[in-house]
């Protein structure tokens, strides 16, 4: 049979490649699956971490135990920083020589007066009934016993406990106020601090302290009761 005159023959389309057709159909199904997820609000499943131990840090960062441990550690550190900010630490200097006694060697602080000084910390330790830290601010046993006798107690530790029982406000008692002159750097290695000159609230005054610098720290070398007018 011959074609009609003037009528062009239509080119014959080649048969599609089976592999290309399969890939195109899979791509269409993937697009339809994505549209379905968007329409139903479903999030795609996160990729699984690589096997064989590769990129272990991805597994650690995705662990709830890791983040809970990190949170706990952060809370602990912040708590310690807050305690240090509001309550301070004992700034101990050199250990004084020839202290002896069952309470151990005297612990000298970097200043004789002030909230972080020897006398200020002594009031603070009494407010918490910290017998060890309070009594090791004395240089010698005889001075500790002198303090105990002046407070009608058998020893320094007992005196601290008796004085703690008289504290009505720990917050106010540990915030003893010192005159400006006592807060200056001493011009000598021996100073006398009379509690009558201090502003003490929430508990009893603790007498008159003689504080001396031994090594790099200030320790109590003598004590006597004081009667404030």
Give domain limits for the chain. Answer: 56-87, 90-224
Opening angle at CA 163, ends 157 and 166, nearest 5? 150
Query: What one-character-per-residue DSSP string does 109-161 give?
Result: ES-SSSTTSHHHHHHHHHHTT-HHHHHTTBSSHHHHHHHHHHTT-SSHHHHHH
- 85 sits in the region (left: phi over 0; alpha: psi -120 to 50; else beta) called alpha
In the chain, which ranges are E strands? 92-95, 107-109, 190-194, 208-214, 217-224
pLDDT of residue 98: 40
Residue 106 in this model has a pLDDT that exceeds 60: yes
Residue with the bigger pLDDT between 91 and 114: it is 114
Angle between helices 156-164 and 118-127 (to 10 degrees): 70
Among 71-85, 119-133, 203-217, the range scoring the smallest mean pLDDT is 71-85
Alpha-carbon 105 to chain mean position: 28
* Residues forming a β-bridge with 212: 190, 219
Which letter does DSSP use for residue 46 in this model? Answer: P
Average pLDDT over residues 101-118: 75
pLDDT of residue 101: 38
Q: Show Cβ contacts of residue 57 under 8 Å, excluding neighbours closer than 6 positions.
A: none
Cβ atoms of 126 and 135 within 8 Å: the answer is no
Residue 67 in this model has a pLDDT that exceeds 80: no
pTM summary value: 0.57
Distance CA 106, CA 215 (A): 11
Residue 163 host element (H or E): helix 156-164
Split at pLDDT 50, 70, 90, the class of 166 is very high
pLDDT of residue 216: 86
Of 126, 118, 109, the closest CA to residue 174 belongs to 126
Residues in the chain: 229
Cβ atoms of 126 and 167 within 8 Å: the answer is yes
* Residues forming a β-bridge with 95: 107
Place of tokens 């011959």: 2
Helix (H, G, I), strand (E, B) or coil at 86: helix
pLDDT of residue 22: 64
pLDDT in tens, 189-226: 999 999 999 999 999 999 999 999 998 899 999 999 99
């Amino acid at each position: 049979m011959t074609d009609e005159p003037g009528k062009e023959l239509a080119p014959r389309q080649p048969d599609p490649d089976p592999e290309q057709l399969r890939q195109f159909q899979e791509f269409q199904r993937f697009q339809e699956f994505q549209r379905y997820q968007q329409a139903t609000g479903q999030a795609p499943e996160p990729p699984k971490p690589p096997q064989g131990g590769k990129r272990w840090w991805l597994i650690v960062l995705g662990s709830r135990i890791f983040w809970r441990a990190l949170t706990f550690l952060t809370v602990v550190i912040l708590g310690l920083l807050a305690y240090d900010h509001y309550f301070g630490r004992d700034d101990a200097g050199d250990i004084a020589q020839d202290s002896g006694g069952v309470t151990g060697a005297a612990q000298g602080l970097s200043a004789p007066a002030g909230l972080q000084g020897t006398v200020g910390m002594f009031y603070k330790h009494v407010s918490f009934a910290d017998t060890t830290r309070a009594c090791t601010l004395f240089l010698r046993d005889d001075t500790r016993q002198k303090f105990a006798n002046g407070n009608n107690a058998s020893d320094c530790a007992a005196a601290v406990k008796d004085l703690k029982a008289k504290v009505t406000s720990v917050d106010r008692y540990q915030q003893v106020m010192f005159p400006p002159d006592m807060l200056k750097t001493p011009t000598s290695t021996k100073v006398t601090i009379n509690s009558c000159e201090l502003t003490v609230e929430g508990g009893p005054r603790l007498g008159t302290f003689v504080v001396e610098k031994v090594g790099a720290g200030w320790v109590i070398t003598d004590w006597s009761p004081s009667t404030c007018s």
